[in-house]
Amino acid sequence: MAMASIVSTRIKICGLTSVGDALAAVAAGADAIGLVFYPKSPRCVTPQQAAEIARAVGPFVTTVGLFVDASRAEIEAVLTQVPLQLLQFHGDESAAFCASFQRPFIKALRMAEGVDMAAVEGEFAAAGASGLLLDSYSPAAPGGTGETFGWERISARRRLPLILAGGLSPDNVGAAVKQVRPYAVDVSSGVEIAPGRKDSAKITAFVQAVREAAQMLE
């Protein structure tokens, strides 16, 4: 990976549920915000809430919509109401399904034991994915568990921009950036005071930790 990409590690704050938290993320320097459309998540927002948040953050912050095995009709209903710039598929969606919306998308891969990262990456790269997000595996939930996984399992050979998620926090994200050298990092529970409620001080600390670690890689 080119050094310039390492230095400019992107940051996504996911699971935002209020305009105030979204503006705090933007003020801290986040490059993207994540809006969850998974009804079982405590961070789930309605299309109306999401549209309000998306309008508030402005045009130069990427607004990402997260879906978990949603139907085509459910996704299209959101797209008619919310100005999403990137789709994130966090379930068992096929590459063809993800690409069929003809919008930029990333695919999440939950790092269960034995998962073939290279095969999944190749499949979704061929389908036109914009990136591959690696998250911790838990049988209890598709994400937002606050658990990390063994970063040593991540291949150094990459066909897609790598987004690292899973248990990141202000305390460990610097080490993650140095070890994995991802295109971006994604955090949700690691900057919260309660599920769906962000802590502006933790967001600021997280962003600072990423920037400091990236500068050390120059």
State the CB neighbour count (10 A cutoff) for residue 139.
7
Catalytic annotation, pick one of 21, 44, 98, 135: 135
Q: Given phi > 0 = left and psi -120 to 50 = alpha, else beta, which region is 29?
A: left
Active site residue 14: yes
Which residues fall within 8 angstroms of residue 101, CB to CB, at 6 or more apart?
A: 75, 76, 79, 87
Neighbouring-strand partners of residue 132: 107, 162
109 phi and psi angles, rounded to 5 deg: -120, 115
Nearest of 118, 7, 13, 99 to residue 57 by alpha carbon: 13
Check: CB of residue 198 under 8 Å from CB of residue 192: yes
Catalytic annotation, pick one of 14, 44, 98, 186: 14
Alpha helices, DSSP H only, in the chain?
Answer: 3-7, 19-28, 47-57, 72-79, 95-99, 117-126, 173-180, 200-216
Active site residue 135: yes
- Indicate which residues carry an active-site annotation: 14, 135
